């Protein structure tokens, strides 16, 4: 049985120094409730992963289901950060698998070098090994764009468009959208 929209959430995890994804609205349109967890400047990668693990325990104990979990990488490749990334993804996937729905998105900006790209793809591959036969998926994105210095960083609220409004705006014509 599908979850009612009111119980769907998107969880955005921002590593210290990462860039806010401009495409986040794609996910928020389908999950009206959002949770943003950002690593503080005085928080180690390990402590950050532990904090997310505790938060996901709380989320998993309620009726909410994660529609999308987004881990936005800062590009660091030290062993503590890589281990924390794995632990964060495991915590998000634990909740998704319990509810049998969700998409985990590993992201970095367009300036990400080959090493971080390879690390995120390798992590996605490892995570996918645990998902056979489930309705949970993993995705990797590198199209996050660094904002210009004049951009405030404040995101506008997103309101889902009712199906009838969407049809009237398209005048019966179908549109292609990419995901």
Model pTM? 0.75
pLDDT tens digit at each of 179 positions of the chain: 444 466 788 999 999 999 888 777 777 777 778 899 999 999 999 999 999 999 999 999 988 889 899 999 999 999 999 999 999 999 999 999 998 889 999 998 777 889 999 999 999 999 998 888 888 999 999 875 555 554 444 444 444 555 444 444 444 443 333 33
Query: What does the pLDDT read at residue 131?
Result: 85
- Indicate the CATH number for domain 5-146+153-170: 3.40.50.720
Residue 106 pairs with which residues in a beta bridge?
71, 140
Query: What does the pLDDT read at residue 49?
Result: 98
Which 3-state string (H, E, C) describes the chain? CCCCHHHEEEEEEECCCCCCCCCHHHHHCCCCEEEEEECCCCCCHHHHHHHHHHHHHHHHCCCCEEEEEEEECCCCCCHHHHHHHHHHHHHHHHHHHHHCCEEEEEEEECCCCHHHHHHHHHHHHHHHCCCCCCCEEEEEEEEECCCCCCCCCCCCCCCCCCHHHHHHHHCCCCCCCCC
pLDDT digits (tens, 9 = 90+) for 139-178: 999 875 555 554 444 444 444 555 444 444 444 443 333 3
Dist. CA 71–CA 104, nearest whole Å: 8
Dist. CA 57–CA 52, nearest whole Å: 9
């Amino acid at each position: 049985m599908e979850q009612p929209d009111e119980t769907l959430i998107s969880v955005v995890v921002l590593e210290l120094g990462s860039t806010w994804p401009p495409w986040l609205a794609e996910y928020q349109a389908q999950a009206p409730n959002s949770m943003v967890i950002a690593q503080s400047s005085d928080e180690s990668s390990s402590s950050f992963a532990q904090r997310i693990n505790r938060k996901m325990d709380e989320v998993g104990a309620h009726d909410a289901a994660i529609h999308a979990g987004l881990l936005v990488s800062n590009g660091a490749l030290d062993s503590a950060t890589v281990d924390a990334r794995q632990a964060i993804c495991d915590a998000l996937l634990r909740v998704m698998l319990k509810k049998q729905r969700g998409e985990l998105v590993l992201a970095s900006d367009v300036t990400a070098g080959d090493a971080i790209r390879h690390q995120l793809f390798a992590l996605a591959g490892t995570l996918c090994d645990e998902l056979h036969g489930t309705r949970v998926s993993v995705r990797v994105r590198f199209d996050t764009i660094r904002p210009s210095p004049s951009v405030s960083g404040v995101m506008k609220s997103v309101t889902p468009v009712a199906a009838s409004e969407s049809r009237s705006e398209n005048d019966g014509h179908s549109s292609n959208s990419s995901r």
